[in-house]
Amino acid sequence: MSAALTLLDESGPSAASIRGIAAKVGVAPNAVYTYFPDKAAVVKGVVERLLGEVDHTASGDDAGSWRDRVAALAVELRRALLAHPGAVPLMIGGPMDGPHALALNERLLELLADAGLDPADAARAAYLLIVYAFGSIAMEVADQHGVAPMPPEQDRIAARLDAFAAIPATHLPRTAAAATVMAGYVSEAQYVWGLHRVLDGISTA
């Protein structure tokens, strides 16, 4: 999986082929097929590898509020995925049924049970949080066309602000006025802001 992840970091989501992995590690493709019978197996392996890098202890112990613990886990998920932007598109279309994916889901269900949700609502809320987190992260990565490593956040915001400076205020006055906020869509602050709006809805369910 290290070879596949390196290929994704270097060349984006289309690079992690069986032949590409074989070339990267210096073996014949047949040797890779022993472990990964097809591209779907590679994708599943990448998903698991990345989710395995998410530190569940980032959500803290049971002393903090459930909201703070969910937010901390979501920020940790963002950190882990942005470290490998070339792999993020595969995360969106890949299976989420491996051990690490299920462990993440289990941790979310545990935190949401602490919020007082019954099992059915906790499951729905966990899915909503995963959709929000992965969708937000995918949009951030798409903004950089999967470039790895991701430029520092302040540089990404500055580049977006430069681009938005060309918006004609006479034709798009509201968009032009919101340019500074829109430039920050790729920030952790925006991610956390949206996350808390989602948690507001969950807490009133």
Token pair for 134: 């992965």
Angle CA 103–105–111, to nearest 5? 105
**Residue closest to 87 by CA, chosen among 187, 186, 11:** 11
- Identify the pLDDT of residue 12: 67
- Identify the pLDDT of residue 64: 82
Q: Report d(CA 62, CA 8) in Å as an integer.
A: 37
Q: Does residue 5 contact residue 84 with C-beta atoms inside 8 Å?
A: yes
Tell me whether residue 162 is exposed, middle or buried, using C-beta atoms within 10 angstroms of its C-beta: 0 to 12, 13 to 18, 19 or more. exposed
Which parts of the chain have pLDDT scores under 70?
Answer: 1, 3, 7, 11-17, 22, 24-25, 32, 94, 146-147, 205
Domain-by-domain residue ranges, the chain? Answer: 55-203
Q: Does residue 33 contact residue 18 with C-beta atoms inside 8 Å?
A: yes
Q: Report d(CA 35, CA 33) in Å as an integer.
A: 5
- Identify the pLDDT of residue 60: 76
* CATH of span 55-203: 1.10.357.10
**Residue closest to 111 by CA, chosen among 72, 53, 78:** 72
